């Protein structure tokens, strides 16, 4: 079937092969997201998944590699539909902590579960391969977040 594709990819550098895999997976996952959640945008899903604990908006911006105004818009949407609330950070009253409501927690659990299934079916990896891929992915993410987050934001992530 796709032997031609595979054969030609074999000639490319590992980095490009890795990138093409990452792009294909990203695109496929984004496409799949459409089919499960009608009332949440992609960005809203991403934010929900990131909110495993209350976080400051600036931290989320760094974490999601986007700008504050995008976080504001997404948080507005999630707040209006009852998935989260804004609470002033007691340690710095300029900052907001985004805190999931019960409804938000439920939605997040569903999303995390569904996303896991999507990954499994999109990737086609067995559990050993998934574990190995996850290990490397975690390492990559650590490297990116480490080099991407401005110093001042890191302290408030927990």
Partner DNA sequence: TTGAATAGTTCATAATCTGAAGTATATTTC
Partner DNA sequence: GAAATATACTTCAGATTATGAACTATTCAA
Binding site for a second copy (CB under 8 A): 1-2, 4-6, 8-10, 12-29, 31, 46, 49, 52-53, 63-66, 112, 115-117, 119-120, 122-125, 127, 129-134, 136-149, 154, 157-158
Which of a second copy, DNA, none has residue 57 at its interface (CB below 5 to 8 Å by kind)? DNA
Structure tokens at 41: 């945008």
Q: Are strands 84-89 and 55-56 parallel, antiparallel or unpaired?
A: unpaired
28 in contact with DNA (CB under 7 A): no
CB 36 within 8 Å of CB 92: no
CB 42 within 8 Å of CB 33: yes
Q: Of residues 25, 29, 43, 133, which one binds DNA by CB under 7 A?
A: 43
- Could you tell me the smallest distance in angstroms from the CB atom of residue 40 to a second copy? 16
Which of a second copy, DNA, none has residue 104 at its interface (CB below 5 to 8 Å by kind)? none
Which of DNA, a second copy, none has residue 4 at its interface (CB below 5 to 8 Å by kind)? a second copy
The structure tokens 């990954």 sit at 119
Between CA 65 and CA 83 the distance in angstroms is 22
Which of a second copy, DNA, none has residue 68 at its interface (CB below 5 to 8 Å by kind)? DNA
Residue 155 DSSP label: G
**Residue-wise DSSP of 43-99:** HHHHHHHH-SS-EEHHHHHHHTT--HHHHHHHHHHHHHTTSEEEEEETTEEEEEEEE
121 in contact with DNA (CB under 7 A): no
Which of a second copy, DNA, none has residue 43 at its interface (CB below 5 to 8 Å by kind)? DNA
Which stretches of the chain bind DNA, using CB under 7 A?
Answer: 41-43, 56-59, 61, 66-73, 75-76, 86, 89, 92-96, 152-153
């Amino acid at each position: 079937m796709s032997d031609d594709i595979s054969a030609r990819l074999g000639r490319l550098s590992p980095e490009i092969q890795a990138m093409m895999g990452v792009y294909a997976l990203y695109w496929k996952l984004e496409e799949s997201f459409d089919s499960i959640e009608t009332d949440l945008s992609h960005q809203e899903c991403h934010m929900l998944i990131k909110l495993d604990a209350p976080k400051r908006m600036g931290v989320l911006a760094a974490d999601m590699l986007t700008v504050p105004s995008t976080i504001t818009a997404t948080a507005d949407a999630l707040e209006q539909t009852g998935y989260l609330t804004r609470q002033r950070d007691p340690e710095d009253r300029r900052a907001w902590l985004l805190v999931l409501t019960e409804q938000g927690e439920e939605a997040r659990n569903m999303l995390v579960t569904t996303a896991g299934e999507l990954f499994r079916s999109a990737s086609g990896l067995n559990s050993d391969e998934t574990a190995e891929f996850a290990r490397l992915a975690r390492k990559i993410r650590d490297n990116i977040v480490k080099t991407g987050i401005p110093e001042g934001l890191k302290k408030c992530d927990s």
